[in-house]
Amino acid sequence: MRGVALGSLLALTGAGAAWAKEIVLPEKNPAVTLTIPDDWKTEVRDTEVVSTSPDGDVSFEVGFETRADRDSLVKDKVSFLRKQKVNLSIKPVEQAMDFGGTPARVQRYRTTDKYGKTIVDLVTLDASRDRALLMTIWGSEDQRQANEAALDTIMKSVRVPAETGGSSNFWSGGKTAAKPETKPEPKVEMKSEPAAAGLSPSVAAAQPAPAKPYATRRALYVARKAADFGDVEARPSNVFKPGEPLLTYIEPVGEATQSIGSDQIGFGVIVDFEVRTAEGKALATQKSMIDRDVTVKRAEGEPNFFLNLSLDLDLDGFPPGNYVLVYTLRDKLSGRTLDVPQPFTIAQAATDKAAGASPAAPSPAPAAPATPPASVQTTVVDGWTVQLAPPDGVSCAIHYENKPPRADGKRFATIVAFVSIPDRNLKLTTLELKFSGWNWTKDQEVKATLRTGEFYLYSGLNWIVLDPRSLLLRSNDPEDILKLVKTTSKLSVERDGEDAVTFDITAPDKALEALKPCRDQLK
């Protein structure tokens, strides 16, 4: 028996039983609805539903947060699973899945927990009102198959926020992903160039009858323009350097349509934009940046279409700070309007952190000593060498090196150092990565991305080259560095055009606890 604690992990499994009433989360403006068996232990909270099957063998969680907090939602779940002794150091198998027209990303870990072999699925998708959902299914293949019918029915019952569902034997541990239950729909890209074509007079004269709220399925800043519906590469941050364009991807839903002949429908949209201060004062406005009428072949359900919107601001007139970009969509046939607000920050040209970055590294800093002086207390915790500095202040660190050397002879080392030098009024925390295959130029500044685990990406970080084999990242705030390593088992350094270099480590929780006396020197 698994015995899952009712914490951040939500449990929901199948037993072919009597079904309870539909659960709506939250009751007002729901992000998700689903059905849970009567005989399960279920707890409904403000932002999640927690339920376990009678035998406690298979668990399922569904929770939501704002899309801005999506990463924290996933990070908290991963942290919880690791505390439950689930091994998430392996690479998951990723699949795309469709929940009633809402694209979902499934990451499946065929791994182990403290009971043996298990399967963990992490499913992320967008909900209405700028919210994100995370579903977690956890149980071995045998345990899932014992609950197959009910688990499959539960997944079909999920509504996000209306028609959705996943089917097939996938959730019981099979390898066949659920196929969309709707027929393929037309894909129409709304480009930022206005179109001159209009709807036919017969369409203009007809009376539209909108059946659903005018809303967005997804609206987010992206790293590149989408080539097709759902082809989204989310931008890791809403912080922009002066001169960077603001690229937005939007999927509107609920637009009014009209029949054109026997096999076509028509609809139209007008898009305005306005840039505001964080307090709501309008700074720049443009009406009808898009004015477009569209005719597509009739298909079951409403058409899937999306907008690629690119805004190039003259940032010379916008000082560094926080702003809101508001796109207003106007449904041409119904007259309804929809505001899509997108907060963003303009960084300082030379001193602000790069977009999506955590700590920055403007200048070299002392590294952890390779050979600790005699006064340094040295212990080994979970494979990390802990070097405690004396209270009068020198570097202290935890140091992890891959041993024995790999078959190719390459060596990797990870060092987290806390530097406190009172007579220089110097207090900082550093992350140093050593790789025998690197060949940098000393004191060179390098811009590289750091990926931690499977989910988190910190783009455009500024590193300092300590020697040809070492890169250093530093911060005056210890939490900037610690959040990069606290719960991960992998650190990958990535640069365009180069192979990623991955450092396999043990999450240094215990070693960091052993360093508490040193960390206290930084306060």
> Could you report the per-residue pLDDT of 79-91, keeping only the tens digit for each?
889 888 898 888 7
pLDDT at 63: 92
pTM (predicted TM-score):
0.34
More confident residue, 399 or 129: 399
pLDDT over 80 (residue 205): no
**C-alpha to C-alpha distance for 397 and 400, rounded to whole angstroms:** 10
DSSP assignment of 286-351, as one string? Answer: EEEEEEEEEEEE--SSSPEEEEEEEE---GGGS-SEEEEEEEEEEETTT--EEEEEEEEEEPPTTT
Specify which residues 470 forms β-bridges with: 434, 467
Domain 193-346 in the same topology as domain 19-172 = no
Peptide bond into 26 cis (omega under 30): yes
Q: If you write DSSP's letter for every residue of 89-101 in order, what string do you get?
A: -SPPEEEEEEETT
Whether omega for the bond prior to residue 103 falls within 30 degrees of 0, making it cis, is no
Query: What is the pLDDT at residue 357?
Result: 43
Are β-strands 131-139 and 215-221 bridged in parallel, bridged antiparallel, or unpaired?
unpaired
Q: How confident is the model at residue 280 (pLDDT cuts 50, 70, 90)?
A: confident
Contact 31, 24 (CB under 8 A): no
Topology annotation, domain 377-520: Immunoglobulin-like (2.60.40)
Most confident by average pLDDT, 162-166, 346-350, 470-474: 470-474
pLDDT given at position 143: 87
Cα separation, 60 vs 77, in Å, equals 12
CA 8 – CA 46 distance, rounded (Å): 12
Mean pLDDT, range 33-60, rounded to an integer: 82
As a whole number, the mean pLDDT across the chain is 74
* pLDDT confidence bin for 169, thresholds 50/70/90: low
Is 97 a residue whose pLDDT tops 50?
yes
Between 173 and 321, name the one with better pLDDT. 321
What Cα–Cα distance (Å) separates residue 470 from each residue in 353, 438, 460, 466?
A: 22, 8, 18, 5
β-bridge partners, 44: 49
Least confident of 428-432, 445-449, 459-463: 459-463
Question: Residues 250, 219: contact at Cβ < 8 Å?
Answer: yes
Longest dimension (CA), the chain: 89
Statement: residue 248 has pLDDT above 90: yes
Res 444: pLDDT = 82
For the chain, the C-alpha Rg in angstroms (whole number) is 26
pLDDT (0 to 100) of residue 329: 93
What ranges do the domains of the chain cover? Answer: 19-172, 193-346, 377-520
What average pLDDT score do residues 420-438 get?
Answer: 78
DSSP secondary-structure letter at 172?
G
pLDDT tens digits along 138-161: 998 888 888 777 777 778 778 776
What per-residue confidence (pLDDT) applies to 180?
38
According to the model, what pLDDT value does residue 170 have? 62
Tell me the mean pLDDT in the region 431-443: 87
pLDDT classification of 183: cutoffs 50, 70, 90: very low
pLDDT of the residue at 165: 40
Write the burial class of residue 17 (CB in 10 Å: 0-12 exposed, 13-18 middle, 19+ buried).
middle
Across residues 412-433, what is the average pLDDT?
Answer: 78
Which of these, 257, 381, 277, 377, lies nearest to 323 by C-alpha position? 277
Among candidate residues 419, 467, 415, the one with its CA nearest the CA of residue 443: 467
In this prediction, residue 152 carries a pLDDT of 75
Angle value at C-alpha 193, between 68 and 285, nearest 5 degrees: 60
Cα separation, 285 vs 273, in Å, equals 6
184 or 61, which is more confident: 61
| The pLDDT of residue 182 is above 50 | no
Q: What is the pLDDT at residue 401?
A: 83
List Cβ neighbours of 519 (8 Å cut-off, separation of 6 or more): 418, 478, 512
Residue 209 has pLDDT above 60, yes or no: no
Greatest mean pLDDT among 219-223, 346-350, 506-510: 219-223
- Assess whether pLDDT exceeds 90 at residue 312: no
pLDDT digits (tens, 9 = 90+) for 1-23: 343 322 222 222 223 334 455 78
Query: What's the whole-number mean pLDDT along residues 477-501?
Result: 81
* Nearest alpha carbon to residue 354 among 450, 476, 458: 458
The CATH architecture that domain 193-346 belongs to is: Sandwich (2.60)
Residue 387 in contact with residue 372, Cβ under 8 Å?
Answer: yes
CA atoms within 13 A on the CB side of 449: 15
* CA neighbor of 68 nearest in space, from 219, 282, 213, 245: 219
Give the residue, 373 or 483, on which the prediction is more confident. 483
Q: What percent of the chain has pLDDT over 90?
A: 6
What is d(CA 294, CA 190) in angstroms, rounded to the nearest whole number?
9
d(CA 96, CA 123): 9
Cβ count within 10 A of residue 268: 24
Quick one: 376 exposed, middle or buried, by C-beta within 10 A (0-12, 13-18, 19+)? Answer: middle
- DSSP state, residue 84: T
The predicted structure's pLDDT at residue 419: 75
Beta-carbon contacts of 402 under 8 Å, excluding residues fewer than 6 positions away, are: 411, 412, 413, 503, 504
CATH class of 19-172: alpha beta
Range with the lowest mean pLDDT among 24-33, 227-236, 299-308, 326-335? 299-308
The two structure tokens encoding residue 187: 């894909």
**Predicted pLDDT at 19:** 46
